[in-house]
A and B are shown apart, each in its own frame.
Chain A
Amino acid sequence: MATATTTAQVSEAEILPEQQTLWSDAWRRLKRNRLALVATIYLVFLIVVALVALVYTPYRMSAVGIAPTYAPPSAAHWFGADSIGRDVLSRLMVGAQVSLIVGVGTQLLVIAVGVPIGLLAGYYRGWLDSVLTFIINVFYGIPDLLVAMIMVFLLGPSLTNIIVAIVVTRWMDMARLMRGQTMSLREREFIEAARASGAKPARILFGHIFPNALGPIIVQATFGVPAAILFEAFLSFLGVGVQPPTPSWGSMASDGISALEYAPHIVLVPSIALSLTLLAFNFLGDGLRDALDPRQKR
């Protein structure tokens, strides 16, 4: 009898492939995507730089006149100096913090706002769905950048207000995605089973539907991060974003525009950093989408 059990166990282990969760499976697929992997490495590097900037920058980011004004890149100042002799590298490092905080912060808030709205609209349908969909469409009809500029103007230009302004003008994609996911998931058998076993709506929504929609939510948030970073750069570029002396990549580029002729590095350095970061997030988003939902056609 004992021998029989052992044989059964052995053969089972031979027949069944190693158990894999959705996440380890997705990670395996993501690793095969070269571009996404390079993007991930770049983003990890960026996060490390932003963290290092908390405790160490080569020079104080607001220290004026530590280098000749418009000094080109050199050994002492890797990325040169700006119009009042501040070290561009130090400011770039602090700017990375601003960009990452804005990018990740807005997306967390967007998830907090968009997911419940999408869940409610998709699950209850009927008049609630009509009302919420109407509100979503109204928000799609407003020019986001202009409204955000007015909001920051009225509320005052702090990092929190900028994040709030971006969330107010950009939560709709997440809500619409979640609504669609909920509508398709609520018809599946496991939701019916949950309902039959007496689960309350809140439990069905957040315990069953939400976890099953996590893949698309993560992908959507990954694409949302560069959009938010870009948005903050626009605001700062126009002078209504993060206020001096705190540097933002957008305001750094904006400061340098007038000196483009004799000191192009002041514009180019933050511009390249910004473009690389946006590119990396977009590649990572593409990679995650392919990894988390292999059935989807590109």
Chain B
Amino acid sequence: MFTRGTLIYVSQRLVLIVFTVLAVSSIVFLGIHRLPGDALFSEHLHGDAYQNLLHHYGLDQPLQTQYWNYVVGVVTRGDLGESLVNRGLKITPIVTRELGVSVTVGLFALVFTVGLGMVLGVFAAVRQNTWVDYLLTTTSVIGYSMPNFVIASLLILVFGIWLQNVTQGAFFYQLGTWTGGIDQLWLPAFALGFPYASIVARLTRASMLEVIRQDYIRTARAKGLRETVIMVRHALRNALIPVITILGPLVMGIITGGVVIENIFGIPGLGKEFAQSILNRDYAIVIGVFTMYAALVGLANLIVDLTYVVIDPRIRY
């Protein structure tokens, strides 16, 4: 499955990711620093206080020097600088912690998405042209057309407000409960994953319908295997191959969709920080979070590509 070639491929990709992250953070750095005015403009500071603050952030130096210091800081110490709004707050520890939160939510949503989508898709295919099939197909079109924040608000309305007596409002994400937070992750994960689960379900249905007409399925039936075994072990395994091709866009969609979902459910992840720092005009954090995102997307895509090798032995790197 994994050969020496895979190892070389992975290291090449890792080098590429490092360069991409650097490039992305440079573009954002330079883009932000060429905006008119300066980061402390709105504070109406004058004289020494203003000069001291500029000096503190190194903003009194020429742009080349600032950029060089920034890149050196990132590469050698992993230092993304200091928040411009909350003075003295180091960015790196914050975004690292938030990355962990976002990845947890994202992974949960991903497992949920693929799981639910596959189950629905298989059911629809097995019961083709019955009411089950029509119900599931229609649901998936609707699910695909509903923005995740609409699903999220409906879920909050139903579980958080109408059913508050039952749920006690305990559906939101709380920090510090790494494993204990799982039960509170259901709603965010559902809202984040449902549109993609619909796509997975549609694809699984189509490819299952193709596979279950193959000769080897008839052979399996002729051997007298149980229907569940045939479906799960023989049919689904092969039906999955077209489905995994959308794993890349799906992971990307969950990462970007997370920005919206984290903001609605108040999950303290990268996405909430990103939107907040943009609204707060905290340029240093915007750059830091975006750099983290570039790394996350690069690594996620690499992992997706490696998953292809595991699922489809014909793919090799």
C-alpha gap A153/B275 in the complex (Å): 10
Could you say which residues of chain A place their CB within 8 Å of the CB of B260?
234, 237-238
Also in contact, A146 and B28, with CB within 8 A (given A240-B275, A261-B161, A275-B147): no
Could you tell me if A144 and B141 are in contact, using CB atoms closer than 8 angstroms? no
Could you tell me if A230 and B161 are in contact, using CB atoms closer than 8 angstroms? no
Could you say which residues of chain B place their CB within 8 Å of the CB of A154?
31-32, 35
* Interface residue from A237, A260, A283 paired with B156 (Cβ < 8 Å): A260
A142: CB under 8 A from chain B? yes
Could you say which residues of chain B place their CB within 8 Å of the CB of A143?
252, 255-256, 293, 297
Could you tell me if A146 and B147 are in contact, using CB atoms closer than 8 angstroms? no
* Interface residue from A145, A153, A261, A278 paired with B278 (Cβ < 8 Å): A153
Also in contact, A275 and B145, with CB within 8 A (given A150-B31, A150-B290, A153-B286): yes
Count of A-B contacts with CB under 8 A? Answer: 96
A279: CB under 8 A from chain B? yes
Q: Chain A: which residue is nearest B298 at the CB level?
A: A141
Could you say which residues of chain A place their CB within 8 Å of the CB of B263?
237-238
Chain A residues with a Cβ closer than 8 Å to the other chain, count = 35
Could you tell me if A239 and B147 are in contact, using CB atoms closer than 8 angstroms? no
Chain B positions 149 through 160: 1 when the CB is less than 8 Å from some CB of chain A, otherwise 0 = 110011011001
A38: CB under 8 A from chain B? no
C-alpha gap A271/B147 in the complex (Å): 8
B274: CB under 8 A from chain A? yes
Could you say which residues of chain B place their CB within 8 Å of the CB of A153?
278, 286
Could you tell me if A267 and B153 are in contact, using CB atoms closer than 8 angstroms? yes
Also in contact, A274 and B274, with CB within 8 A (given A143-B256, A144-B256, A253-B153): no
C-alpha gap A226/B153 in the complex (Å): 20
Q: Which of B153, B156, B206, B290 has the most CB of A within 10 A?
A: B153
| CB interface residues, A 187-238, toward B, < 8 Å | 226, 230, 233-234, 237-238
Also in contact, A257 and B279, with CB within 8 A (given A150-B290, A234-B147, A282-B144): no
Could you tell me if A230 and B147 are in contact, using CB atoms closer than 8 angstroms? yes
B264: CB under 8 A from chain A? yes
Could you tell me if A149 and B274 are in contact, using CB atoms closer than 8 angstroms? yes
Chain A positions 259 through 298: 1 when the CB is less than 8 Å from some CB of chain B, otherwise 0 = 0110010011001001100110011000000000000001
Q: Chain B: which residue is nearest A271 at the CB level?
A: B150
C-alpha gap A239/B281 in the complex (Å): 12
Could you tell me if A278 and B153 are in contact, using CB atoms closer than 8 angstroms? no
CB of A200 to closest CB in B, whole Å: 38
C-alpha gap A264/B150 in the complex (Å): 12
Chain B positions 288 through 308: 1 when the CB is less than 8 Å from some CB of chain A, otherwise 0 = 001001000110010000000
CB of B277 to closest CB in A, whole Å: 10
C-alpha gap A20/B263 in the complex (Å): 53
C-alpha gap A233/B220 in the complex (Å): 49
CB of A259 to closest CB in B, whole Å: 11
| CB interface residues, B 252-268, toward A, < 8 Å | 252, 255-257, 259-260, 263-264
B163: CB under 8 A from chain A? no
C-alpha gap A145/B274 in the complex (Å): 11
Could you tell me if A271 and B145 are in contact, using CB atoms closer than 8 angstroms? no
Also in contact, A145 and B31, with CB within 8 A (given A226-B145, A238-B263, A274-B147): no
Q: Chain B: which residue is nearest A141 at the CB level?
A: B301
C-alpha gap A250/B274 in the complex (Å): 18
Could you say which residues of chain B place their CB within 8 Å of the CB of A254?
149
Could you tell me if B32 and A146 are in contact, using CB atoms closer than 8 angstroms? no
Chain B positions 26 through 51: 1 when the CB is less than 8 Å from some CB of chain A, otherwise 0 = 00100110010000000000000000
B229: CB under 8 A from chain A? no
Could you say which residues of chain A place their CB within 8 Å of the CB of B135?
none
Could you tell me if A275 and B150 are in contact, using CB atoms closer than 8 angstroms? yes
Q: Which of B146, B149, B279, B293 has the most CB of A within 10 A?
A: B149
Q: Chain A: which residue is nearest B150 at the CB level?
A: A271
Also in contact, A233 and B32, with CB within 8 A (given A238-B275, A257-B153, A260-B153): no
Could you say which residues of chain B place their CB within 8 Å of the CB of A253?
149-150, 153
* Interface residue from B20, B147, B161 paired with A278 (Cβ < 8 Å): B147
Q: Chain B: which residue is nearest A152 at the CB level?
A: B278
Q: Chain B: which residue is nearest A277 at the CB level?
A: B145
Could you say which residues of chain A place their CB within 8 Å of the CB of B35?
154
CB of A296 to closest CB in B, whole Å: 13
- Other than A153-B286, A240-B278, give 5 A-B pairs with Cβ distance below 8 A: A143-B297, A146-B293, A149-B278, A271-B149, A275-B147
Question: Mind listing 12 A-B residue pairs with CB under 8 Å?
Answer: A146-B256, A149-B278, A150-B31, A153-B278, A154-B32, A234-B149, A239-B279, A253-B149, A264-B161, A271-B153, A279-B142, A279-B145
| Residues of A near any B CB (own CB < 8 A) | 141-146, 149-150, 153-154, 226, 230, 233-234, 237-240, 250, 253-254, 257, 260-261, 264, 267-268, 271, 274-275, 278-279, 282-283, 298
